[in-house]
């Protein structure tokens, strides 16, 4: 097992994993990203996101896509994990844990104070996994989002 930074050559498999994740989360219809979008976000002079992949003998079997967030209370950045996904046939072999551990190590190496993410409330296997590695649920927080038409209308006001 190898956990490595993704390369531009990995974009097609990253797109496959994104679609597989969306299918798992019952949201296939919501994927609008293209390979060009992902390539532009990850592999430019000033990337807005980063990606690590789990590689087993040359086959990418999972990925973690993340970006930086910031805590004004701590005065330091942190890692926000946007997506973590391992192909179903490769689960239970430590790939997800290895991807998470790599991001935790990056956070510590760079002096970041937090590593956080969201999980769907029905995804009990993931919730159990996150609790097993020591993560805490932030149950007192409610997520809000402006997107699509609501974002456009609000911005016009």
For the annotated catalytic residues, the residue numbers are 130
Q: Measured between alpha carbons, how far is 101 from 57 in angstroms, rounded to an integer?
A: 20
State which H helix or E strand residue 79 sits in: strand 76-86
Paired residues of 76 in beta bridges: 71
Give kind and range of the element (H or E) at residue 13. helix 11-24
């Amino acid at each position: 097992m190898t956990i490595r930074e993704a390369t531009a050559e990995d974009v097609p498999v990253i797109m496959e994993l994104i679609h597989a994740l969306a299918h798992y989360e019952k949201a296939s219809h919501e994927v609008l990203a293209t390979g060009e979008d992902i390539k532009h976000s990850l592999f430019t002079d000033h990337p807005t996101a980063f990606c690590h992949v789990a590689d087993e003998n040359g086959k990418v079997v999972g990925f973690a896509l993340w970006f930086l967030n910031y805590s004004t209370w701590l005065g330091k950045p942190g890692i926000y994990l946007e997506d973590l996904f391992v192909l179903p046939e490769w689960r239970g072999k430590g790939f997800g844990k290895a991807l998470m551990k790599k991001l935790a190590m990056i956070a510590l190496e760079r002096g970041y104070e937090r590593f956080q993410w969201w999980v769907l409330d029905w995804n009990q296997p993931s919730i159990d996994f996150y609790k097993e590695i020591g993560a805490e649920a932030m149950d007192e927080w409610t997520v809000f989002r402006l997107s699509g038409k609501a974002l456009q209308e609000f911005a016009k006001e």
